[in-house]
Chains A and B, each alone.
Chain A
Amino acid sequence: MNARLIPFAVFALIVALFGFGIVWNKYHDPRYVPSPLIGKAAPAFDLPRLEDPAQRVRKTDLLGKPYLINVFASWCFACGEEHPVLMAYSKRFGVPLIGYDYKDQAADAKAWLDEHGNPYHEVLADVSGATAIDFGVYGAPETFLVDGQGVIRYKHIGPLTPDVIARELDPAIKAVQGTAR
């Protein structure tokens, strides 16, 4: 090899490396952290209903059929961006969409749902956020798909968009429903 080409080769290598970095970061959000809970049993929970705190919902109550848990809060800005998508899609998922009101005041959450509409099958309230720690929640909105055996099959962090639903969530729901039958 002609030694004169070595500096050029090194330069080209560095350019390729930087180019790779730019392209990689375009398609991979460095903030995205894959949940270690995927493929594992969802944590046991026992939470009051937003509408009627005297009634509690436990994980065992929901076993048997797959469902979606959508973590939201009235104070959460991105949840407002996601909300119209949930309103449009909640009936089309084919599985119940359960709202998870995260570190929120009941009155605020109710007012928020009254104003923007309620896409949820039912809404659980986690005022302290203690159960959310078990779910590894760190930024609302987050969406979990739990199968009939109570195992977390899919998680999305950040607002659901029609694109994410078509590309990731719908196939994940299909797969869960397929194994259930």
Chain B
Amino acid sequence: MKRMWLVLACALALLVSASAFAIDPLPFKDAAQRQRFQHLTSQLRCMVCQNESLDASNADLAKDLRHQIFDMMQQGKSDAQIKQYLVARYSDFVLYDPPLKASTLLLWFGPAALVLGGGIVVLVLLRRRAKPAAQIKATAETGDDW
């Protein structure tokens, strides 16, 4: 039931997310700061609507966090410090780019390993098939006829 409401809320938020900034304007010093803010918040996940970024989400918490990030920027905090602040509270899950560490090795290198493994299998199969004509008879007898 809770999930249904969340899905509904997210769907609603999606409908109006394009106008999130119009609803929730922040007094940026200049265009560069605004761009930095949008770049940073688009890399961060909204924990309430988990498939939305903080930049796009209209969830109440996302709004609070946008204000928090804005305040931290005014205090001269770096992007890394702001990310650290959020990770300490909401775990690595807030980052759309997961950090490279032992628990994320599979995530980072799993796809490449799969491609590599699959490539090796394909290569081995092709080589077998490309054996000289003299050996085709022999392989055919082992059932390798496809």
Contacts and interface: CB of A to CB of B under 8 A. Distances in A.
A138 B94 CA distance: 11
Q: Which of A6, A128, A135 has the most CB of B within 10 A?
A: A6
Interface string A136-147: 101100000000
Nearest to B63: A129
Interface stretch (A31-39, A49-57, A92-100): A31-39
Given A77-B1, A81-B2, A103 B90 contact: no
A138 B52 CA distance: 14
B50 A34 contact: no
Interface in A118-141: 128-130, 133-136, 138-139
A37 B87 CA distance: 10
Interface string B100-132: 000000000000000000000000010010000
A138 B61 contact: yes
B48 interface: yes
Interface in A139-173: 139, 158-159
Q: Which of B5, B90, B143, B144 has the most CB of A within 10 A?
A: B90
A37 B89 contact: yes
B2 A158 contact: yes
B87 A78 contact: no
Interface string B1-26: 11101100000000000000000000
Contacts of A28: none
Nearest to A2: B143
B65 A133 contact: yes
A133 B64 contact: yes
B90 A136 contact: yes
A4 interface: yes
* Interface range for A: 20 to 34
Nearest to A82: B2
Contacts of B5: 77-78
A88 interface: no
Contacts of B87: 36
A81 B91 contact: no
A3 interface: yes
B146 A81 contact: no
B68 interface: yes
A131 B68 CA distance: 12
Contacts of A103: 60
Contacts of A36: 87-91
B1 A78 contact: yes
27 contacts: A2-B142, A3-B128, A3-B142, A4-B144, A4-B146, A7-B146, A31-B50, A33-B47, A33-B90, A34-B91, A36-B88, A36-B90, A77-B2, A77-B5, A81-B1, A81-B2, A103-B60, A129-B61, A129-B64, A133-B68, A133-B89, A134-B89, A135-B89, A136-B89, A136-B91, A138-B90, A139-B48
Given A77-B1, A139-B47, 6 more contacts: A3-B144, A3-B146, A31-B50, A36-B90, A128-B64, A139-B48
